[in-house]
Each structure stands twice: as C-alpha cells, then as structure tokens.
Amino acid sequence: MTTQKTGLPMPMGKWCHCASIPCRDSPMAPSSSSTPRLLVVDDHAVHRLCARVIFQYTWPGCVVEEANSLHWARAFLAERHYDLMLLDLQLPDGFGLELLQTPTRRERWISPRPRIPAVAMTSERTPDHLLACHRAGLDVLLDKPLQAEPLVHAVQPLLEFPPRLPSAAEAMMQASPEISHDVSSRRSAPSAHLCHHLPPRCG
C-alpha cells in the first residue's frame, strides 16, 4: 500500500507536518475496524512527538496527524474523519476548546459529521479552565507534561480499539533518548491531578 506525505504551509513561513496518509482512504471515511485515526493539536513539536510515539506504540498501525494551530486543525477536521482528538488548551491563534464548538445548522448540512471524542492537555489547571472544559463538552483533561499511562487510560474508553499495556508504552517512551531527555527536563513537581474526567454535558 502506498502512502503520501503531506506538509501544509503555515502563515509567517511556518510548516505543519502531517502523518503518512494511506492513499486508499477517502478523506471523510471512518477509520478501518483495526486502525484509529487520531489528530494531535499542539504548537510544541516535542509534545506532538510524545503523543505520536505513545499512540503509535499503544495502537499499532494507527494514523496520527498533527496540527500546530487552530487554523490547520480546523482545515484537517473539515476534510477528514478522526476517531479522537488530543489538543492543547493554549494555542498561538486561540483557545483549543474552540475546536469543540457546536457547528451551525448550515455547517452540519454542508458537512455532517459525528462528534469527535476529545482529550485536552494543560499546564495550568484552574477552576475557570475546568468550567470551560465542561461547558465545551470535553471528555478528559490531562496535565502536562504528557505521560503514557494517564494518556492511554484517558483515551482507551473513548476508542473502540484494544490497546497494548500502558506501562509498556511508558517504558518504550522512556527508552527513546530524544524524547525522554526533553520530557524529563520539562517535568515539574508531581501533580495530584494527572487526569480529570469531566462529567457529560447536559442539554
């Protein structure tokens, strides 16, 4: 099976690099029964790399695509179906939760699509953040820096794909020098709230 590598130009000369996309897949077609398609939205390349490594090791064969801004995340969401979205709350061109806004009736008519499960990452957990996440319909809020076990435990109930053991993904990530060194240098004091499952939004 052939694949194509895509790179979309960002404003001001920046680039957003995407995963290899199987050519046989139509843009809005759901993923196959054994391979999920995931979208990672974060402006930090290391955070996107960590998420990609964890996802691809835990769900072998999955397609992971990356966007470093709201602009390109919206472009990808308009063209492709995703089984889950992992997003940063703070992005250069806005608030990550904007991606969860309910589309207008006209938008639903033009491009109908089911709701995408969403997990967000943040380095600042405040009551205002939690309230905004709940109102936006976010499923889970994770603390940064990313750790394999909390991420896999958060994502697993939202996907219909059996994962490998999260401890194995954690060990694999720590065994990658280019990832473990940068993550450990960013790691702050242990947080008591690595993963916050938000209640379903009513109404």
**What pLDDT sits at residue 139?**
92
| Cβ–Cβ under 8 Å, residues 66 and 56 | no
Residue type, 88: D
Residue 121 has phi, psi (to 5 degrees) of -120, 145
pLDDT digits 0-9 by tens, 151-188: 999 999 999 888 776 555 565 555 555 454 444 444 44
Question: The whole model's pTM is what?
Answer: 0.68
pLDDT digits 0-9 by tens, 64-116: 999 999 999 999 998 888 999 999 999 999 999 999 875 544 445 555 556 79
Topology classification of domain 46-188: Rossmann fold (3.40.50)
What are the residues whose beta carbons fall under 8 Å from the beta carbon of 37, sequence distance 6 or more?
Answer: 31, 62, 63, 65, 80, 81, 82, 83
**What pLDDT sits at residue 53?**
93
d(CA 198, CA 131): 9
Q: Where are the domains of the chain?
A: 46-188
Residue 85 has phi, psi (to 5 degrees) of -125, 130
Other Cβ atoms closer than 10 A to 94: 14
Query: CB-based burial of residue 74 (10 Å sphere; 0-12 exposed, 13-18 middle, 19+ buried)?
Result: middle
